[in-house]
A and B are shown apart, each in its own frame.
Chain A
Amino acid sequence: MLKLVLKEKLAVPLELSVLRADILSNCSSACKISELPAYYGNSNAEIGDFFDVTGDVDSNIVIEGDLSKAKRIGEGMEYGNITIYGNVGMHLGEKMKGGKIIVNGNVSDWMGSNMSGGIIVVNGNVGNFACSSYWGEKEGVNGGVIFIDGSVGDDLGRRMRRGTIFVTENSGDFTGGEVIAGTIFILGSVGKSLGAGMKRGSIILSKLPELLPSFYYSGKFKPLFLSVYFEYFEREFSFKVPKKLKKAVFERYMGDFLAVGKGEILVCLT
């Protein structure tokens, strides 16, 4: 296991797109890792300028410190594991293809945007535009699993095409906006304009929010696929899914009929 400990609090943003488990595991030594480039504000720097690097080089990385100004950790990562103790800045796991990132702290905006595989687990809150597409892009998240044991800000999962997002608490406005497909769970409350423009895909809620008028009630049923999801979450993330969700009948609302209208919002009835 390789360990990186932040030496001192960052004054300006630090770009750390080389902090990927797959890149670090291919370095010959901790010394070489210290020489990898980073960008501190408007100047060039090296990883060793900011971190004490210790341990054996492999694909399991532990990072410690207040990284709320550190951007792009795990960007484009293809395999390996990163565990972070502390808050993390923007673009965590952006365009990630594989591997796993676990954050024990809060994460800033654009987390997991445009990712296509892998797993991000956050034991804390997440900012805006999590798992969202960039402005102007047709598709956002195209695979992978994001598990957030906390709340998220606005624009969660915009234009998501594949993948799963699970939020144990609340999400902000425009959750699941223009979703093409994929699955979003919100166990707490959601903000305004839920699923606006969604074409297909599923949003699963524990209580009925104010829905857009372009979503129509479509009946009640017991969706078995949720049981498979819940078993997966409990197995993979050791998350105890509330019993009421496991046994519930769900109301189904179809929409957004201003788009394709094949999306579904499932609301737990208890």
Chain B
Amino acid sequence: MAALSKVDDTFAEAFKMYGARIIITAINEKWATKAANCVTGFATSVIGCGCEAGIEGIAEDTPDGRSGISVLLFTMSKKALSEQLLNRIGQCILTCPTAACYNGLDSDEVLEIGKKLRYFGDGFQMSKVIGGKRFWRIPIMEGEFLMEESYGIKEAVGGGNILILGNSVESVLEASERAVSSTKNVKDVILPFPGGIVKSGSKVGSKYKFLHASTNTSLVPHLQAHASSVLPSNTVSVQELVFDSLSLEAIKEAMKKAILSALEIEGVIKITAGNYGGNLGKFNIYLKDVLEVDEHA
């Protein structure tokens, strides 16, 4: 396939993270989605948001039988994950009309978020063990907020990425959108940036000492005269897709789908990936290897 020649022989450098899956239910999908959007708001990058989060999809067979949305959250440490879950469940789900929150990840390692949030009940909270799981009933103005006590966590992979280079802003955006759509059915994966796409990929460090990350100059189309550009000269625009996942296999599958979908768009010049020479991340995901992955979804 001629288009595959546009895929750079390089790798995406991904990092070890910790992930959790929560199931948000509500009286209907509209309100479950509102709560999920709130939980995953301002959660594009751990650099500035504390966590990376996104909507994984519709949750089937929820514990209370209502409409549900599955959300994945990722952080660099277990402590950070605990803080983020507590804050985001407390501020976004506890407050959202009719919403409830349940664990969506079976794991031996758990964070007991409900045990902390229960104190909102000011002594009137009650717990129930149903089917071997403990739930907390917290009295609120609406009636009762229900949440599961323990949330499974596991080691995860964050920062898998592809870069889509093209000869126009429109073509690159269209390719990126199509690439994001193609990953919708891949379980365990989210793309945490707006619409799954990031237009301002960063490099580590800056000429300014107070800044830890700055614009990735080698990928800015109009800085080719100033920086050591890696872009083909006819590049007009670049977009990046960042993937976080509960498993390496799932991230590879999503990357494959995204690459193949992006290549269908005329105007795409090249698909490459961001890395730091393999010096920072635990996982080096080679694009050529990704294209050989068997698809499950």
Contacts and interface: CB of A to CB of B under 8 A. Distances in A.
Given A162-B129, A223-B137, A228 B63 contact: yes
Contacts of A228: 63-64, 128, 130, 135, 146
Given A200-B126, A202-B126, 16 more contacts: A143-B129, A162-B129, A163-B129, A202-B128, A223-B143, A224-B64, A224-B100, A224-B144, A224-B146, A225-B144, A228-B64, A228-B128, A229-B130, A230-B65, A231-B63, A232-B131
Nearest to B139: A221
Specify the main secondary structure of chain B where it touches its partner: strand
Interface of A: 143, 162-164, 183, 200, 202, 221-225, 227-232, 236, 264
B130 A227 contact: no
Contacts of B115: none
A227 B64 CA distance: 5
Interface string B218-233: 0000000000000000
A202 B144 CA distance: 15
Contacts of A227: 64-66
Interface string B140-163: 000111100000000000000000
A225 B146 contact: yes
Given A223-B137, A225-B137, A227-B65, A232 B143 contact: no
Contacts of A232: 130-131
A15 B137 CA distance: 43
Contacts of B126: 200, 202, 264
B37 to A, nearest CB: 21
Interface in B18-65: 63-65
Contacts of A236: 131
Interface in B159-198: none
A232 B63 CA distance: 8
Nearest to B145: A224
A96 to B, nearest CB: 15
Nearest to B66: A227
A264 B125 CA distance: 12
Contacts of A223: 137, 143-144
A229 to B, nearest CB: 6
A228 B134 CA distance: 11
